[in-house]
Amino acid sequence: MEPIESVALVGAGTMGSGVAQKAAQEGFRVQLIDRDIQSTERGIQMISSTLGEAVERRIMTQEKVEEVLSNVIPVVNTENVDVATDIVIEAVFEDFEVKSSVFEAIDKSCAEHTVIATNTSSLSVNKLSKSTNRPDKFIGLHFFYHPAKNRLVEIIPGDETSSETLERVEQFCKRIGKVPIICKDKPGFVVNRFFVPWLNEAVLILEDGLGTPEQIDLIAKEVFEIGMGPFALMNATGLPIALHSSDYLSEQLNTPRFKGASLLRKTVNSGNKWVIEETGESTDNYEAIKNRLLGVTFLVAAQIVQENICKLEDVDCGAKVGLRWQKGPFELMNNLGIKESCQIVREYSAIAGKGLQIPVLLENRTEEFAFELVEVKMQGSIARVKINRPDVMNALNVTVVKQLTKIMEDLNHNKDVTTIVFEGAGKAFIAGADVKFFVEKLREDNFKRIYDFTESGHELLNLIEKSQKTTIALTTGITYGGGLEFALSCDYRIGSKKTEFRFPETGIGIYPGLGGTQRMSRIVGVEIARWAILAGNKINGEFSKQLGIIDEFSSETEVENCVLKLAGFEKSENKFRGKPFHITTEIETIMRFYGDNALSEVLSGRTPVGFDAEDPFVVSQLKSLSRKAPIAIKMASQLINESTKTNLDAGLQLELDRLETIFSTKDALEGLSALVESRRPSYQNQ
């Protein structure tokens, strides 16, 4: 399968320019196509403006902005698209005839291998594919506003879309930092199927006199844990879009309840927005408003799963990633209680009418919904294990560890499996453990739950470490804390320019408790382990290759070839080398600074003999160490030292044995709480 390398966007409006910007940011050369030079220039100006905001917020440098803009190539008229383009994404006005004419032009102008994608939010992908002579290379890509920032994309294969096209497009979406969910070609796809009726229901609630726009927004924000309520959202994205989407869903699904509310239609026709007055007045109809908004959400979400449009995990992923809800519909049902949630749906169904009968999925249901947070796919003898929590960067929690353990046990006993590859959904491999869990249990004075979770994590990583299969971690993204410890338990690690390793634990009041102090030092040596763990230094892909943390440094397009290469290897006999791959000048400096002769001075905040106090390296290291929890640094340092005196199993047990000591400190609660609360911790060495 040839990866997608060249990209074109047809339509230089907000969506087209946004997608072009995101692809350009990830290093793709992008043609931005529109009918005249003025339109393409406006599109590039929109990109420049968005990038300028990123510079003001210090998210991006001016040099990076220039690099991104240089990757965007203006093109006038679709007929002038580069014939060899790998994918052309249409992002023009949501009109069937307009889109069809674009596809006919692309079909004639591009090579046989070119994939054509439509960024439709409502039209049928199957019907649009008939406008081309390549339905096998036609696909839907529904990006969400703003496409340069919102990570969600719905991938909608048509009935004739080939598996190769789907695989190429899914890989492309991941390469531009998107979280893809694959769904069937049904009206509203996934997110809009429940989100548009949610917006319309808010207007119906207003029409029924149950509350003002302000009151309804406040209740929605509290119940769904969101930053903007439905009326504020419609004001931001445009009332005409909400009306058009509501009417479309109502017609396509034959559901009168979804037809644009009369007050919405009246407001659109007047050219006005919703008036949201901040009066602070409460309403006696809190429960009625809450239940109407929850009722439509729960019912339609259940319909989506019942119709096999996608999995329930993808529905929740769409809500959390695309809409930035804290919880998806099914997680909300679990939290509220299945019995109460089903009663809310029954009451809503009774007033909603045709097309909104209570789904079988919710009839007489008593059990909570179970989420499969880990997926396994077989590629011959290679098992691909994906942790699928992109909304929290695949953080390890009790459920994930439990599911991974069961999967590892099954795969270890499967004689047809030779290799196990671990990867994460979205931009991270694994960004650590669920810190909120630690804070919650500490405040409950329930250390046992923390110990049990950590012990189960050790058992999982030992299953990986001692597996007879070849194990590979695809660490081509953010890999922090427990995620890095997970990766170190594997035989091999693959990195890329997007790799970012870090042990943040001492900065949040604890030490790496899933084997980090033991495996890291055994792989790269105690000096590098001290540099990485005590000071929490970030390590990019290229440097991690020099250190020997990763075994293969790959381009984005060569990752799969690296997987196949390593899959053919036996288990590594040279994993625990105890030293870096290459001793460069930079690495030699690190090793001297964190060596036995200098360590006591360094940990005391003093410049060791042989180093210049004004040296930027010395300044940065001492500053970093000064911001860590002193007890955590001391205990982590002791555990790293123990790695030279014990075998691996004994060293891992020491991490567990000292767990209660570190978690019982005031600094541990302070550091973990500060992370959750997004503030700088204040340590007291207690």
Q: What is the CATH number of the domain that holds 323?
A: 1.10.1040.50
Residue 189 binned pLDDT confidence (cut-offs 50, 70, 90): very high
> What is the pLDDT of the chain when averaged over all its residues?
96
Is 154 among the catalytic positions?
Answer: yes
- What pLDDT score was predicted for residue 281? 85
**Sign, Cα dihedral of 325, 330, 335, 341:** positive
Closest CA to 69 of 11, 137, 20: 20
pLDDT band at 2 (very low <50, low <70, confident <90, very high): confident
Per-residue model confidence (pLDDT) at position 497: 93
Question: Are 200 and 75 members of one domain?
Answer: no
Under the banding of pLDDT at 50, 70 and 90, the label for residue 67 is very high
CA distance 409 to 407: 5
Q: What is the rounded average pLDDT of the residues 47-54?
A: 95
Residue 326 has pLDDT above 80, yes or no: yes
| Segment 483-491 mean pLDDT | 98
The predicted pLDDT at position 278 comes to 85
Residue 121 a catalytic site member: yes
**Does one domain contain both 670 and 585?**
yes
Does the annotation count 146 as an active-site position?
no
Q: Is the dihedral of CA 41, 44, 50, 51 positive or negative?
A: negative
Same domain, 421 and 340: no
Mean per-residue pLDDT for 31-44?
96
Could you tell me which residues come within 8 angstroms of residue 645 by beta carbon, excluding any fewer than 6 positions away? none
Q: Which CATH number goes with the domain that contains 487? A: 3.90.226.10
- Percentage above 70 pLDDT, the chain: 100
Q: Is the dihedral of CA 361, 367, 373, 375 positive or negative?
A: negative
The model's pTM is 0.92
Catalytic residue among 39, 71, 121, 246: 121
Question: Is 281 inside a domain boundary?
Answer: yes
Domain membership of residue 209 (yes or no) is: yes
Among 153, 182, 211, give the residue marking a domain's end. 182
Question: What is the average pLDDT across 467-491?
Answer: 97
Instruction: Give ∠ CA 170-408-561 in degrees, rounded to 5.
Output: 40
Same domain, 349 and 471: no
pLDDT of residue 557: 86
Does one domain contain both 300 and 216? Answer: yes
Structural domain of 271: 191-362
Distance CA 177, CA 622 (A): 34
User: Could you tell me what percent of the chain has a pLDDT over 90?
Assistant: 96
pLDDT at 1 over 80: no
| Domain-located, residue 552 | yes
Residue 533 lies in a domain: yes
The domain total for the chain is 3
Which pLDDT score, from 0 to 100, does residue 570 have? Answer: 84
- For residue 678, give both structure tokens: 């997004």
Q: Which of 542, 446, 512 is nearest to 659 (CA)?
A: 512
Tell me the C-alpha distance between 451 and 519, whole Å.
20
Both 570 and 510 in one domain: the answer is yes
Statement to judge: residues 212 and 115 lie in one domain: no
Is residue 369 in some structural domain? no
Average pLDDT, integer, range 408-421: 97
Catalytic residue among 71, 192, 291, 388: 192
CATH code for the domain in which residue 136 is found? 3.40.50.720
If asked whether residues 326 and 413 sit together in one domain, one would say no
Q: Which of 90, 154, 505, 527 is catalytic?
A: 154
275 class by beta-carbon count within 10 Å (0-12 exposed, 13-18 middle, 19+ buried)? exposed
Q: Are residues 306 and 388 in the same domain?
A: no
Are 650 and 563 in the same domain? yes
In a domain, 684, yes or no: no
Residue 594's pLDDT is 98
367 within a domain of the structure (yes/no): no
Residue 681 lies in a domain: no
Q: Which of 686, 669, 685 is CA-nearest to residue 677?
A: 669
Mean pLDDT of 435-440: 96
Do 670 and 594 share a structural domain? yes
Q: pLDDT band at 122, cuts 50/70/90?
A: confident
- pLDDT of 568 higher than 90: no
**Boundary residue ending a domain (149, 165, 182):** 182
Matching residue, tokens 């026709």: 269
Assigned token pair, 533 = 């763990």
Out of 165, 182, 199, pick the residue that ends a domain: 182
C-alpha span between 380 and 81 (Å, rounded): 38
Domain co-membership, 569 together with 656: yes
pLDDT bin (cut points 50, 70, 90) of residue 413 is very high
Is 192 tagged catalytic? yes
